[in-house]
Structure 1
C-alpha cells in the first residue's frame, strides 16, 4: 500500500488521518508487545504519528515499514530517557535524606539531563566521547588525545565544538 501526501495541507491532513486510522491499532499493538505496557505503548504510538505529521513527508511507499522505522527511533530515545532517569534516581537513593532534592528540583534536573543527552546525541561520536572523557571522566586533553589516538589540537577542536553546542542549549 502506498500513501502519497499532496502539497495541499488539507489533503495532507486527510492522508495522515487515513494513515492513522489504518495503522494506529497495528502500531499500538506492536509497541505494546515490545513494552508490555499499554500506557507507554499508547504514548509512543501517538508520538510516532505526531512526528510524521510534523515531518511533512510527501510519500510513504510502505506505511508499516515507515511507521516501524519512525517508532524505532522514538523507542530508542524513550529507552535512553528511562535509563537516564533510572541512573539519576539510583544516585539519589544513595544520598543522605537531608541532601535529597525536592520533587520539583528532581523534575528540573531530569529535564536538564534529557536536554543535555539530546544535545550530546547531535555531536559526532568522537566529539561526544572526548567531551564525556573530559567532563565526566576528568581526563586532561593530552590523555584524551592519547586514548582517542588523535592530536592534542584535534581534542581542543572537539571540545570547542562540544562547548559551542552546550552554549546553544543555554540560549
Structure 2
C-alpha cells in the first residue's frame, strides 16, 4: 500500500503532534470519494467540525495545487494552501494535502494534512488521512486524552464514507 509524502519539517516523529486515521471500505472506489474530499464546500455536509470554507483569489470550488483557502475547524479559523494534488488515475493513488496555519507567536500552529485514496483488490477503497503539527498548541493537543485529532479525523472519515455511499446509492 502507498504512503503519505511528507515535506521537510513535517515528518512524523519529528513534529509536536501526529495523528493517523484509515478506513478500508468495500463497494466504494477512489472515484466515489474524490469529489467529496476535493470540494471543500462539501465538507460541512458530512463533517460537522468543518465550516465557513472560502477560497481566496477567485480559486475553487475544487482544490488544486497552490490553491489558497480557509475554513474553521476545532473552533478556530485555519488559512491553508494546497501543496499536493494528484487526481485519481487508474492504478495510482489519489493524493491531496495542504499546509494549514493559525495564530501568531506562541499561539501559532502549522500543520500538514494529507489524504491518500487508493483502490484495492476486491472492490475496496482505502482512505488514509494523516496530519502533523508544529507549535505550542500542537504540544498541548498531543497530551489531550481522548485525542481530539484522532477522534475528529475519524469522524471526518466516517462522514466521508457515509456521504459517498449515499451519493452512490442515489446514482444507481
What TM bracket, shorter-length normalisation? under 0.3
Greater relative CO (CA pairs within 8 A, separation 6+): 2
TM-score, normalised to structure 1, is 0.27
Structure with bigger strand share is 2
The higher radius of gyration belongs to 1
Structure with bigger helix share is 1
